[in-house]
Chains A and B, each alone.
Chain A
């Protein structure tokens, strides 16, 4: 089993739709969690951290479920510009190595 797993997609959604991605992790000692956005042939860019209490940034909401060992990203009112690959990253306590998922592709359609 991979340490961090994501559904590769693609998720094809119409503009204005709400879409959610999950990312599961296997190491219960994982302590920090992040979502990154990666556009085609670009570097991953930090989208948001994921906190235990959940956090929101505009149309984006991230949540952590420690009991089931997954994090989620919810995008409301999808825009064409949201089309990208979304990577989750997990940091295990006492280490500095982020473990990345392979990413979920999102296509927002006009």
Chain B
């Protein structure tokens, strides 16, 4: 029973390119949460999605960032025109229902480096 799967593990992009990060939730889970961890900082909530719906994107930067969770396939976090400040570790977690009072299990993350 695979856990939350994220890929790629490492992603290098030049400034101005696009980055696509993928997250496959645990089997049977339809809720996905994305977090970002900047160097020397804690994890910050970015967005909460259910299948085909964005529930809360209050933590997403207003520009260049978008997320989706289609009916089929993984959740995608997309960053357009990346800048050096986007370099961070991006983690996702999933749950079966909304409300996660048992704590998250995170995927192994994608480490984005913008050069």
Contact = CB atoms under 8 A, between A and B. Distances in A.
Interface of A: 4, 31-32, 34, 36, 41-46, 49, 87, 89, 91, 96-103
Contact of A91 (B42, B43, B101, B109): B101
A88 B32 CA distance: 21
Given A42-B108, A43-B109, A96 B100 contact: yes
B22 interface: no
Given A32-B101, A43-B106, A97-B56, 12 more contacts: A34-B103, A43-B109, A45-B106, A46-B105, A49-B102, A87-B43, A89-B104, A96-B33, A97-B45, A98-B45, A99-B45, A100-B44
Contacts of A98: 43, 45, 100, 104
Nearest to A94: B99
A99 B101 CA distance: 13
A103 B38 CA distance: 13
Sort chain B's interface into a size bin: 20 to 34
Nearest to A49: B103
17 contacts: A34-B103, A41-B111, A42-B109, A43-B106, A43-B107, A43-B108, A43-B109, A44-B91, A46-B103, A49-B103, A87-B42, A89-B103, A89-B104, A96-B56, A102-B40, A102-B41, A102-B42
Contacts, number: 54
Contacts of A41: 89, 111
Contacts of B45: 97-99
